[in-house]
Amino acid sequence: MSLWRKKSITKLLADAENNEHGLKKTLTATSLVALGIGAIIGAGLFVRTAAAASEHAGNAVTISFLIAAVGCLFAGLCYAEFASMIPIAGSAYTYAYTTMGELVAWIIGWALVLEYALGAATVSIAWSEYLNKLLGGAIPYSLCHSPFEAVSAAGEHGIINLPALFILLILSLLLIRGTAESAKVNTIIVFVKVSIVLVFIAVGWHFIVPANHTPYIIPDNAKPVDLGNGKIFDYAGSARSHGWGGILSGAAVVFFAFIGFDAVSTAAQETKNPKRDMPIGILGSLAVCTILYILFAHVLTGVAPFADFLRAGKEASVSYAIDTYMHMHWLATLVTVAILAGFSSVILVMLLGQSRVFYSMSNDGLLPKVFSDLHPKYRTPYKSNIILFLFVGFFGAFIPESVAGDLTSIGTLLAFILVCLGIIIMRKADPDRARPFRTPLVPAVPILGILVCGAMVCSEDPVTIITALGWMVFGLIIFFLYSRHHSNIGKENLPQ
Q: What is the DSSP string of 84-98?
A: HHS--TTTHHHHHHH
pLDDT for res 404: 57
Identify which of 389, 385, 380 has the alpha carbon closest to the alpha carbon of residue 179: 380
Beta strands at 225-226 and 232-233: parallel, antiparallel or unpaired: antiparallel
Identify which of 1, 90, 47, 96 has the alpha carbon closest to the alpha carbon of residue 480: 1
Which SS3 state, helix, strand or coil, does residue 226 take? strand
Report DSSP state, residue 149: S
DSSP-assigned states of every residue in 96-155: HHHHT-HHHHHHHHHHHHHHHHHHHHHHHHHHHHHHHHHTTS-S-GGGBS-TTSPPPTT-
Kindly report which listed range (29-38, 234-243, 358-367) carries the lowest average pLDDT score. Answer: 234-243
pLDDT for res 26: 76
Measured in Å, how far apart are the chain's first and last C-alpha atoms? 15
Q: What's the CA gap between 419 and 440, in Å, rounded?
A: 15
Indicate whether 496 pLDDT > 50. no
159-189 pLDDT per residue, tens: 899 999 999 999 999 888 877 777 777 778 8
Of 409 and 302, which is predicted with more confidence? 302
66 to 179, 249, 257: CA distances (angstroms): 32, 13, 12
Would you say the C-alpha torsion 458, 462, 468, 469 has a positive or negative sign?
A: positive
Q: What's the CA gap between 450 and 468, in Å, rounded?
A: 19
pLDDT for res 204: 93
Q: What's the CA gap between 281 and 159, in Å, rounded?
A: 41
**Residue type for position 327:** H
CATH homologous superfamily for the domain 26-487: Amino acid/polyamine transporter I (1.20.1740.10)
487: left (phi over 0), alpha (psi -120 to 50) or beta: beta
Under 8 Å between Cβ of 56 and 250: yes
Indicate whether 47 pLDDT > 90. no
272-324 pLDDT per residue, tens: 887 788 888 888 989 999 999 999 999 999 999 988 888 765 556 788 888 88
pLDDT for res 211: 93
373-401 pLDDT per residue, tens: 988 888 888 899 999 999 999 988 887 76
pLDDT for res 323: 86
Q: What's the CA gap between 332 and 328, in Å, rounded?
A: 7
Report DSSP state, residue 233: E
Q: Considering just the CA atoms, what is the radius of gyration of the chain in Å? A: 23
Under 8 Å between Cβ of 426 and 137: no
In the predicted model, what is the mean pLDDT of the chain?
83
Which SS3 state, helix, strand or coil, does residue 161 take? strand
Which SS3 state, helix, strand or coil, does residue 271 take? strand
Confidence band of 429 (pLDDT split at 50, 70, 90): confident
485-495 pLDDT per residue, tens: 889 887 765 44
CB-count exposure of residue 6 (10 Å: 0-12, 13-18, 19+)? middle
Report DSSP state, residue 214: S
Contacts of 10 (CB under 8 A, 6+ apart): none
Identify which of 229, 290, 482 has the alpha carbon closest to the alpha carbon of residue 368: 482
Q: Helix (H) and strand (E) counts for the chain?
A: 21, 2
Q: What's the CA gap between 357 and 411, in Å, rounded?
A: 13
Task: Tell me the residue length of the chain.
Answer: 496
Q: What are the residue boundaries of the structural domains of the chain, listed by start?
A: 26-487
Tell how far CA 169 is from the center of its chain. 20
What would the mean pLDDT of 428-452 be, rounded to a whole number?
A: 90
279 to 29, 94, 249, 271: CA distances (angstroms): 9, 17, 29, 12
Identify which of 258, 292, 247 has the alpha carbon closest to the alpha carbon of residue 449: 258
475-484 pLDDT per residue, tens: 999 999 999 9
CA atoms within 13 A on the CB side of 99: 23
Instruction: Report the share of the chain in percent with pLDDT over 70.
Output: 91
Confidence band of 233 (pLDDT split at 50, 70, 90): confident
Q: What's the CA gap between 429 and 53, in Å, rounded?
A: 44
